[in-house]
Structures are given as structure tokens and as C-alpha cells.
Amino acid sequence: MDEREASLENYMGGWWDGCSQCSAWCDEINDAETDEKKQQIIDENLTHYAGVWLCEDCLNDVKAREEG
């Protein structure tokens, strides 16, 4: 199990904060009726990066910052 899977497993069934920087998708994920639906929203919109979940905008910000 990789780090992303471990994190996903850890959060599944519990509360999602959505994007760790801007909380995007938080409501959508927590309102999802099934784990499948939840996972689909996560797969489509959040990326596990450097130990946290980020939306596409924040992922681009973080990467841009890292590249200086």
C-alpha cells in the first residue's frame, strides 16, 4: 500500500477536509452518499501530494512555489 492509498483508507468513512489549503471539495465529499461516489470526487479533483490532499489550483501553486 502506497502513501496515497494509506491516506485514502485513513480518511474513508471519516470526515474529509477536502483540499488541505483551501478546503475545496470538502462539502461535496462529505455529502457523497456512497464511498464509491466519494472516491470518484476525490479521484477527479484531489491529488495526494507531499503527504496532503490538494485541489488542482493549490497543487499548481505548491509546485510553482517549489520550483521557485
* Interface with Zn ion (CB under 5 A): 19, 21-22, 24, 55, 58
Q: Which is nearer to Zn ion, 39 or 45 (CB)?
A: 45
Cell of 35: 464511498
The answer to whether 18 touches 54, Cβ cutoff 8 Å, is no
Closest distance between Zn ion and the C-beta of residue 26, in Å?
A: 10
Closest distance between Zn ion and the C-beta of residue 1, in Å?
A: 25
Burial of residue 46 (number of CB atoms within 10 Å: 0-12, 13-18, 19+) = buried
Closest distance between Zn ion and the C-beta of residue 62, in Å?
A: 9
